[in-house]
Chain A
Amino acid sequence: MSTPVTESAPIPARPLPTSYRSTKVRRQRVRAAWLFLAPMLVTLTMVAGWPLLRTFYFSFTDASLSDMSNTLFIGLENYLVYDDGRWFGVLADPIWWRAVWNTVYFSVVSVSLEVVFGVIVALVLNAEFKGRTLVRAAVLIPWAIPTIVSAQMWAWMLNDQFGVINYLLMALGIIASPIAWTADASYSMWAVIMVDVWKTTPFVALLVLAALQMLPKDCYEAAEVDGIHPVKVFFRVTLPLITPALMVAVIFRLLDALRVFDVIYVLTSNSTSTMSMSIYARQQLVEFQDVGYGSAASTLLFLIIALATIAYLYLGRKQLQLGGD
């Protein structure tokens, strides 16, 4: 699921006015604040901070799943090593690079499609018409369905022999013979993207809809009086105004897409033509029991996502500044 933590800047606290901030009350409150934070911080350290550090550490060792305590420090060998005239390690594995390319391709294509469709759906839901509440409820359904279930549902609909999609496409004369959507390497990535777009467009649509509903009404009235074409109004007025909300939706969708695992795992399992970085890392870690090598892949995934986030925030800020000039 998308993590809907969505705020561009940290929330400012709402302190009491100065008159109440006598030192005693204040000191008591600060002490209480840390006391109240402690359980959360301890939990997050245990499930996030410490395991992350251990993953980094394992990536420099030969740890295996059956024996994670007796490990040997092997430096960068899991990443890249030259041995006997050949390169070894994650960085020398063509399947890893395939997984990187698949993940990036999947993320860029599906997030772009979700933004386009999300904006269209949000514009429709923002219009006033009879039955709007019902349509909004219908749009929420894909979002409410667990990813695994939606992957299974689509796997069945995309079934090459008995699937309803092939049946409809053949009935409409679009295709002549059934397509093996999830097995055929030239279609499987598109099948995965389609399922992801279907499932997560509602999330983007809801964020955009919330932004649309806060837009000032008067500039639209002015545009209507001046007889400006609605399409022009959309690109000149609406789109710039909802860009901040879109940026938030895009970054959260992008971070989610870069770590994609479950849709691909269920639809096409470990096939190389759709393998994502998460699938690659987990396969090494759990199925091949190679914790060291798998951790190296995980660490690289972490670094790629961290870099993507930093680049996005940097570029986004630049663009916003340019837009503001």
Chain B
Amino acid sequence: MTSRRLSKLAARAGFWLLVALIVVIAVFPFYYAIKTSFTPSGDLFRVELWPTRATLANYVQIFSQRSFLQAIFNSILVATSVVFIALLLGITASYALGRVRFRGRTTVLLVILGVSMFPQVAVLSGLFEVIRALNLYNNPGGLILSYTIFTLPFTVWVLTTFMRQLPMELEEAAIMDGATPWVTITKVFLPLMWPAMATTGLLAFIAAWNEFLFALTFTLTDSQRTVPVAIALLSGGSAYELPWAPIMAASVVVTVPLVVLVIIFQRRIVSGLTAGAVKG
């Protein structure tokens, strides 16, 4: 009897140990980045898990750099524009793909899936040419255009899944009243699609906010860069002494809003990520 109770106790202890391990591994790097961001640069040679002296100097330093503020502004501009375009094009396309049966529908869906799969590098030289031809090189416009390559397929796909689940009685009623498809979308479906659009919009925003390869390749000057490139190139100055404390301060500034958003909307995000995955 006692040995059985003992093994049960051991299993419980093991489980909680596993939970603790998972939480520590998931949270520690971010915690350590926050800790470093408050540490005076001169103290960094001493490794410590808890800050002994805290300072805001690193934050003051990055916010006094015009290029960092400009990068945040560029990132916000690019990410919100991309979300807006992806949702606008995505909602109309998802109506066509989710509610209407027509010839070529499967082909269009497969093409969209294909585009979402292929590597960004494969279009790099071709896209470079397109962006230069449109005079959008070293310009947020070039990034907004190029980011539709990964946000649009995903938005269309998830919105189509959601669109399909809406009851058909609504559409029947609209057609009986003589509503055109455009009126049906804007007046009937749009109000019901807000939750789905919030989810896909949030995921598209995160994807655009984090993108690096295009942002690195299609911009040239500090004033046009987005946050990931700015942070990656902060270290480019000298190879021997990297400004780790300011880098961590900048990292925390651009990450905290995302972490907060993701935690607030975790249910929505999970449903967006798994939309179709388990049902299919």
Contact = CB atoms under 8 A, between A and B. Distances in A.
Nearest to B127: A51
Contacts, number: 352
A47 B23 contact: no
Contacts of A291: 125, 128
B154 A4 contact: yes
Interface stretch (A24-32, A87-95, A108-116): A24-32
B274 A162 contact: no
A148 B228 CA distance: 6
A15 B125 CA distance: 41
Nearest to B272: A4
B126 A32 contact: no
A45 to B, nearest CB: 10
B18 interface: yes
Interface in A149-192: 149-157, 159, 161-164, 167
B6 to A, nearest CB: 18
Contact of A40 (B90, B118, B275): B90
A82 interface: no
Contacts of B207: 1, 3
Interface in B239-253: 244, 247-248, 251
Q: How large, as a class, is the contact surface on chain B?
A: 35 or more
A20 interface: yes
B119 A301 contact: yes
Contacts of B275: 4, 6-7
B115 to A, nearest CB: 5
Contacts of B111: 44
B280 interface: yes
Interface string B125-146: 1111110100000000000011
B49 A54 contact: no
B142 to A, nearest CB: 10
A184 to B, nearest CB: 16
B180 interface: yes
A81 interface: no
The A interface, classified by DSSP as helix, strand, loop or mixed, is helix
B209 interface: yes
A4 B273 contact: yes
26 contacts: A3-B154, A4-B154, A7-B277, A8-B280, A11-B161, A13-B99, A13-B101, A33-B100, A33-B181, A39-B89, A40-B93, A41-B108, A44-B148, A138-B22, A146-B258, A147-B212, A147-B228, A156-B247, A156-B248, A162-B47, A167-B47, A207-B274, A207-B277, A261-B121, A298-B121, A302-B119
Interface of B: 15, 18-19, 22-23, 25-27, 29-30, 32-33, 36, 44-45, 47, 49, 85, 89-90, 92-93, 95-102, 105-106, 108-113, 115-130, 132, 145-146, 148-150, 152-154, 156-158, 160-161, 164, 168, 171-172, 175, 180-182, 185, 203, 206-207, 209-210, 212-213, 216-217, 227-229, 231-232, 235, 244, 247-248, 251, 254-255, 258-259, 261-263, 266, 269-270, 272-280
Given A14-B99, A137-B263, 12 more contacts: A5-B113, A9-B280, A14-B98, A44-B153, A47-B130, A68-B128, A146-B210, A149-B254, A156-B32, A255-B117, A262-B232, A298-B122
